[in-house]
Amino acid sequence: MIHCIRMAMIAMLALAPVLSAQAQSATPWPAKAIRMIIPVPPGGTSDILARMLGQKLTETWGQQIVVESRPGANGNIGVELLVRSPPDGYTLMFVSLGHATNPALMKLSFDPIRDFAFITQVADAQNVALVHPSLPIRSLNELTAFAKQRPGQINFGSAGTGASGHLAGELFQIMTGTKLVHIPYKGAGPALIDLLAGQHVLYFTNIAGVISYIRSNRLRAIAITGEKRSPALPDVPTSAESGLPGFVVSAWYGVAAPAKTPRAAVDKINGEVLRALKAPDLRTRLLDLGTEPVGSTPEHYTTFMQNEIAKWAKVIKAAGIKGE
């Protein structure tokens, strides 16, 4: 009798992992809250868009998307947190241009491609050239003339070294032969606060984070740094219309997970994000902020990321930009 009981217990123990795996596979995903890491400070476009998307996914999944800002080290603290997270689909990251520029600026503790499962590109974001209203400038032509008369005297801020606003400022100097002073901040939020206070007077950034200040005339938009005007700011000319053809710099945003995240989870998240981007309410809100919904396959987004890393490495080298 004792022998039979012992054999039964051994059989149950042997079956336990199988039963556990079956139970887990039968559990609908997601079965708990999902963390969305933003590797930059709050207040910028990444923060705004991630929360908008998170709200939509929360409504769809019935599970909370917890948006968590983890800035520091030019975004690498948040990125490293993602890399160390279990690849179970419950930790995601809202990716931006810094992921493509950091490899050329500093030594990383992770591989920017192999350590990630890239899920989808969410949006493209047009940039806008802004000046503080105290400057008598209303076009890129006027900015160029003003800067040439004051070499090394005009400060331009950015969300950090290698951010799209920094790259735009460097490209502007190369194209116009001007000399500006770059002030890197630890995120778009702090840079915007100082711009409003007049601590720096020129700023290239995404429309989404500044559109309310433009509409209230607290900041002056002098150009869209893209090839076409923004529906969100239809009266603001393009770079070409403002006197500097070829001056095109934009940003983009997407979603990634740790490497080895199950393909089923990647496909599930991809499908739900693409569905959310097609929803009329979210699409309208994104367009109103000067961002254009994209939505792509994991394969296309991975290839896109590889191309972006290679492209910006060449620009950073040519401009002589050094990491902090």
> Do 119 and 263 sit in the same domain of this protein?
yes
**3-state SS, residue 168:** helix
Residue 241 belongs to some domain of the structure: no
Residue 242 contacts residue 130 (beta carbons within 8 Å): no
At 255, list the tokens. Answer: 């979603």
Residue 92 contacts residue 301 (beta carbons within 8 Å): no
> Do 134 and 198 sit in the same domain of this protein?
yes
State the total domains in the chain: 2
Would you say how long the chain is, in residues?
A: 324
Q: How many CA atoms lie within 13 A of 155 on its CB side?
A: 13
Which amino acid would we find at residue 202?
A: L
- At residue 42, the pLDDT reads 87
> Do 172 and 313 sit in the same domain of this protein?
no
Query: What is the per-residue DSSP string for 312-323?
Result: HHHHHHHHT---
Residue 234 belongs to some domain of the structure: no
pLDDT in tens, the chain (324 residues): 555 545 545 545 544 444 444 444 556 788 999 999 999 888 888 999 999 999 999 999 999 999 999 998 888 999 999 999 999 999 999 999 989 999 999 999 999 999 999 999 999 988 999 999 999 999 999 999 999 999 999 999 998 888 889 999 998 998 999 999 999 998 888 999 999 999 999 999 989 889 999 999 999 999 999 888 998 899 999 999 998 998 988 889 999 999 999 999 999 999 999 999 999 999 999 998 889 999 999 999 999 999 999 988 988 888 888 876
- At residue 309, the pLDDT reads 93
Cα torsion at 44, 89, 297, 50 (round to 10°)? -20
Structural domain that includes position 262: 34-125+251-319
- Looking at residue 105, which CATH number applies to its domain? 3.40.190.150
> Do 48 and 134 sit in the same domain of this protein?
no
| Residue where a domain stops, chosen among 224, 243, 271 | 224
- Looking at residue 212, which CATH number applies to its domain? 3.40.190.10
- At residue 240, the pLDDT reads 92
> Do 118 and 134 sit in the same domain of this protein?
no
Contacts of 259 (CB under 8 A, 6+ apart): 83, 87, 114, 115, 116, 117
At 317, list the tokens. Answer: 């080298």
> Do 88 and 110 sit in the same domain of this protein?
yes
| Residue where a domain stops, chosen among 224, 243, 268 | 224
Residue 149 belongs to some domain of the structure: yes
Using only C-alpha atoms, the chain has a radius of gyration, in whole angstroms, of 23
How many whole angstroms separate alpha carbon 200 and alpha carbon 74? 20
How many whole angstroms separate alpha carbon 114 and alpha carbon 260? 10
At 216, list the tokens. Answer: 């209230």
Residue 154 belongs to some domain of the structure: yes
Contacts of 35 (CB under 8 A, 6+ apart): 66, 68, 85, 90, 91, 92
> Do 62 and 130 sit in the same domain of this protein?
no
Residue 17 belongs to some domain of the structure: no
How many whole angstroms separate alpha carbon 277 and alpha carbon 273? 6
> Do 119 and 256 sit in the same domain of this protein?
yes
How many whole angstroms separate alpha carbon 73 and alpha carbon 312? 19
Residue 10 belongs to some domain of the structure: no
Residue 29 belongs to some domain of the structure: no
> Do 144 and 204 sit in the same domain of this protein?
yes
> Do 55 and 98 sit in the same domain of this protein?
yes
Helix axis angle, 164-176 to 140-148, nearest 10°: 70
How many whole angstroms separate alpha carbon 6 and alpha carbon 25? 29
φ and ψ at residue 295, rounded to 5 degrees: 80, 115
| Residue where a domain stops, chosen among 208, 224, 240 | 224
How many whole angstroms separate alpha carbon 48 and alpha carbon 56? 13
> Do 135 and 103 sit in the same domain of this protein?
no
Q: Which residues pair with 293 in a beta bridge?
A: 123
Residue 159 belongs to some domain of the structure: yes
> Do 56 and 117 sit in the same domain of this protein?
yes
